[in-house]
């Protein structure tokens, strides 16, 4: 049920959240459970953008070290969500995630991932070829080894985000769909309200959790967010007889098995899974992204697309700046290539067909980890954006940490690696080998 905008805009709230994706809704849920009044403003519908278009991996392994504590906490919250609201509400399956290696170079990824997991006490193991065949008897190929974390999981992004949104509403939060935020307003020099399409909402604290839209709202407040919009294309197969609960990120294809026998397919770790369509924001933040571009220049295909012209127009129109971008077109060539690789992995499925494909826009940072920050200690403005495709898995933990920060003055986990100032300071985490 969509909240009545006129009711909330007549009064102030404790916290206003911009963005009705999994991060915004999770933050609202945790805050509402602490008896704070919360308003979430979403320019479309809940989970209408990237939160509904993710692969659905809920992984701890193979992450940047800064993300591992968040991923471990998120994993526990995902388990609790499934217990509290039922498996059907999230399609959460703790079947483990496998990262297999074919070559010596692939094995470097496995060994590096295992070393990080060991330092953080994750129950991650390196399987030999026989172990991989035992885990996935149907798999085809000659595998040297594989990184396997049995506690990792996967779920349905759309259902999960909607479930968390419903939980936030039940706890007392108000979620206003189809209500874009035009700006964050200041009074006495401090951000204290959001101006929406239906009027102003005053708030003691404001959270920008609106992904690719965050830079537009943050810039007038003096915060430049180095976020590049990239497009990720995903496919889903027709149903097949279920044979595994394991999700996999392989050299040439990634897959997540659904409860209904369908498989969600993404790119493998060797190639580039996203398309770089140059935008105004990417040009403005080019200096931050140059290291990543230099590392991956052979794999990049930079183009000018509709997003560039949308952002150009947005500089002269406040309404255009917050309007949802046109539906992105999937890269059919990449999706079909992933399908072919999936067929080669599992010959017993024959020429399993593709049922549908879609694309989503990722808010990518130069070091491919998010910005989670309160940029100024004297202002109750919080930013949670730039998740670089990791928002679905980490979302529940981000919501918990932000709620602690807002209500208790500090988060319980160390979030300093995610501070916005790292880009200005030059303390930027090493970009991944392939974005």
Q: Topology of domain 5-96+151-425, per CATH?
A: FAD/NAD(P)-binding domain (3.50.50)
Residue 147 CA to residue 13 CA, distance in Å, equals 46
The DSSP bridge partners found for residue 253 are 267
Q: Are 421 and 222 in contact (CB under 8 A)?
A: no
Percent of the chain scored above 90 by pLDDT?
A: 75
Ranges of the chain whose pLDDT falls below 70: 1-10, 272-273, 276-323, 428-435
**From the CB of residue 83, how many other CB atoms can be counted at a distance below 10 Å?**
10
Residue 237 CA to residue 245 CA, distance in Å, equals 16
Q: Are 112 and 222 in contact (CB under 8 A)?
A: no
Q: Are 54 and 152 in contact (CB under 8 A)?
A: no
What tokens appear for 102 in the block?
């074919």
Q: Closest Cα partner for 25 from 402, 359, 370, 409?
A: 402
Domain ranges of the chain: 5-96+151-425, 97-150
Q: Closest Cα partner for 374 from 399, 402, 407?
A: 402
What's the pTM? Answer: 0.90
SS3 of residue 105 by DSSP: helix
pLDDT (tens digit, 9 = 90+) per residue, 58-95?
999 888 999 999 999 999 999 999 999 998 999 999 99
């Amino acid at each position: 049920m969509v909240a009545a905008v006129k009711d909330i805009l007549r009064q102030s709230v404790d916290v206003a959240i911009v963005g009705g994706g999994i991060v915004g809704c999770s933050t609202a849920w945790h805050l509402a459970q602490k008896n704070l009044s919360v308003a979430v403003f979403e320019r479309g519908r809940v989970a209408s953008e990237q939160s509904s278009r993710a692969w659905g991996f809920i992984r701890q392994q193979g992450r940047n070290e800064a993300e591992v504590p968040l991923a471990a906490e998120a994993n526990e919250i995902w388990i609790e969500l499934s217990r509290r609201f039922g498996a059907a509400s999230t399609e959460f399956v703790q079947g483990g995630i496998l990262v297999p290696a074919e070559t010596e170079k692939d094995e470097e990824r496995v060994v590096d991932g295992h070393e990080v997991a060991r330092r953080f006490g994750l129950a991650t193991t390196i399987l030999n070829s026989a172990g991989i065949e035992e885990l996935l008897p149907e798999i085809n190929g000659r595998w040297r080894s594989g990184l396997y974390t049995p506690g990792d999981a996967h779920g349905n992004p759309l259902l999960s985000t909607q479930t968390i949104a419903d939980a936030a509403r039940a706890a007392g939060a108000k979620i206003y769909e189809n209500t874009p935020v035009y700006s964050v307003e200041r009074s006495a020099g401090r951000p204290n309200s959001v101006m929406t399409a239906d009027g102003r909402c005053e708030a003691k604290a404001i959270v920008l959790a609106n992904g690719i839209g965050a830079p537009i709202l943050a810039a007038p407040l003096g915060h430049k967010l180095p976020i590049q919009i990239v497009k990720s294309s995903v496919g889903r197969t027709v149903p097949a007889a279920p044979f595994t609960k394991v999700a996999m990120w392989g050299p040439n294809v990634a897959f997540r098995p659904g409860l209904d026998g369908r498989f969600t397919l993404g790119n493998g770790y060797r190639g580039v899974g996203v398309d770089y369509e140059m935008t105004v924001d990417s040009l403005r933040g080019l200096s931050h992204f140059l290291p990543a571009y230099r590392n991956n220049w052979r794999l990049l295909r930079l183009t000018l697309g509709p997003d560039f012209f949308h952002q150009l127009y947005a500089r002269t129109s406040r309404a255009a700046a917050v309007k949802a971008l046109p539906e992105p077109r999937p890269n059919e060539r990449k999706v079909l290539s992933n399908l072919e690789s999936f067929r080669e992995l599992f010959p017993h499925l024959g020429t399993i067909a593709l049922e549908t494909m879609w694309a989503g826009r990722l808010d990518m940072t130069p070091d491919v980890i998010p910005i989670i920050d309160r940029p100024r200690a004297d202002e109750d403005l919080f930013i949670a954006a730039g998740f670089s495709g990791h928002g679905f898995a980490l979302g529940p933990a981000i919501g918990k940490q932000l709620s602690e920060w807002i209500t208790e003055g500090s988060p319980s986990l160390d979030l300093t690696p995610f501070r916005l100032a790292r880009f200005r300071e030059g303390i930027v985490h090493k970009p991944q080998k392939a974005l």
